[in-house]
Amino acid sequence: MVPAVHTVHTRVIDWFDEAARDLPWRRPECTAWGVMVSEVMLQQTPVSRVLPRWEEWMRKWPTPRLTAQAPTAEILRVWDRLGYPRRAMRLQAAAQAITDRHGGEVPGEAEALRALPGVGEYTAAAVACFAFGEPEVVVDTNIRRVHARVFAGEALPGQSYTAAQRRRAVELMPETGDDGGRRACAWNAAAMELGAMICTARSPQCAICPVADLCAWKLAGSPPATDRQRTRGQAWAGTDRQVRGTIMALLREHTSLAEAALLESPSLQGFSAEQRQRCLDSLTRDGLAEAGGGRIGLPGSPVGLQD
């Protein structure tokens, strides 16, 4: 049975008004740039890890113009261990484009946001919605899971964001009426929070869910996920991602390192010489590291200096 959509909207939004976490990028005084930085950092990264990094970033570079002017090596140091450091460089590239094309002000339209380097459909919609109140369809993993359980009776939404899920997300958006889209934006934020805090992937807290009595999955007896619905977790131990992350941590710690010393670092022992070299080469190709004079450093670092 498909629940009454309007009732679900009302209950989830009311729950969010009472239970939402007090996060700095949700506060009225947060700028559009602060919202954009948070959305990029939060991709595949939990709030607990993002919060200190976001706070330091905003202290150092509270505007796109200041971010664009910052040394890339310092950008990567502040990014620290958030993972996927190319996100940091894409964020700086977006800041440069905002400075050049929009006078240093984050544009408020999703189309203009999508035109920025490294900004995809989700980030553009989220910034337009959460920073500017535009009723864009925002769908992350948490929202997909809420949609799948409450409205489709499925345990999990699966790995891929399908065309059917996209249609469902559009259909579930509150209509934009006299409120100018405020209810639609509130639904996006509330559904995302419900998925993050209550309707979690592994341990859903159905006993305190505001729509448990309307949830199609709960009413069906909470059937387990099928193979199609499951999401395969990303391995970490022993992977190139782990090696790249370890190399980046070493480069953030030092001005530069001799390449031989870097590759023989104790923290890289246990990985093959071939894997260590391959990962270093890939970081250099990606622009996350620079080589010169037999030494390796972060982009823009004086690689000729001694550590």
Hey, which residues are catalytic here? 39
What is the rounded CA–CA span in Å between residue 227 and residue 156? 10
**192 with 19: CB under 8 angstroms?**
no
**135 with 181: CB under 8 angstroms?**
yes
Alpha carbons within 13 A on the beta-carbon side of 176: 10
What is the rounded CA–CA span in Å between residue 93 and residue 54? 17
∠ CA 98-102-108, nearest 5°, is 85
Q: Within 10 A of 16 (CB to CB), how many other CB atoms are there?
A: 20
Beta strands in the chain (DSSP E): 257-258, 290-292, 295-297
Of 3, 15, 7, 11, which Cα lies nearest the Cα of 219? 3
The residues, any chain, with a CB within 8 Å of residue 209's CB and separated by 6 or more, are 194, 198, 199, 215, 218
**142 with 202: CB under 8 angstroms?**
no
Q: How far is CA 55 from the centre of its chain?
A: 16
∠ CA 56-191-117, nearest 5°, is 50
**289 with 280: CB under 8 angstroms?**
yes
Residues in the chain: 307
50: its two tokens = 């993002």
For residue 96, give the amino acid letter: Q
